[in-house]
Structure 1
Amino acid sequence: MPMDANEIEALIKAGIPDATVEITDLAGDGDHYAARVVSESFRGKPRVAQQRAVYAALEGRMGGVLHALQLTTAAP
């Protein structure tokens, strides 16, 4: 069952409370999304650490319920 964009956003915001999150459904199928996540908590962290924080917020749904996520992270 595909994930809803609002659910992805809610999970990320729950895990990274100060995040600004933009979700785009890339294929219209609920399985392929792009996410832009901006958080002050990312400041000074390498991009891989920023992305790991987002994946951790998704609580194991990546690769299962959520098939593909094109991820862009940044500090404000």
Structure 2
Amino acid sequence: MSDAFMHATTAERAALIEARLTAALAPIASIRITDDSAQHAGHAGAAAGGHFSVTIVAAAFAGKPRVARHRMVYDALADAMQRGIHALAITAYTPEEFALLSR
């Protein structure tokens, strides 16, 4: 991702995040990206970039603790974290974990 990320629309930012995560963690069973920036308007870090929530379901998370899963997501988005994502809330599941939640 380039500096263009900072000037992208909300939909474009979400698409860029999704593309990067899909490439790094394929196969992805499910992914949902929410722009939470409006909830942080006026807060000190709001001007530094967007606030996003990501819920992602990927087999790549199997056998990994939460911290390792988050690190995998952060690694996939490393340049965006420097150029336009101020905060990222991550919920990461394996397909099996997600299936149990759906019951």
Higher helix share: 2
Q: Which residue of 1 aligns with 2:37?
A: 27
CA shift for structure 1 position 24: 0.7
Distance 1:68 1:2 in 2: 17
Supply the RMSD in Å over aligned alpha carbons.
Answer: 1.9
Residue ranges of structure 1 left out of the alignment (5+ in a row): none
Distance 2:7 2:33 in 1: 14
Say if 1:37 and 1:74, in contact at 8 Å, map to a contact too.
yes
Q: What amino acid does structure 2 have at the position aligned with 1:27?
A: S
Identity across aligned pairs (percent)?
39
Q: TM-score, normalised by structure 2?
A: 0.64
Residue ranges of structure 2 left out of the alignment (5+ in a row): 1-5, 42-48, 96-103
Change (3 A) 1:47 1:7: same
Q: Does 1:52 align with 2:61?
A: no
Count residues in correspondence.
76
After TM superposition, the runs of 4+ consecutive aligned structure 1 residues lying more than 2 A away are 27-30
Cα-to-partner distance string for 1:9-29 (whole Å, 9 max, x where unaligned): 111111111122110111348
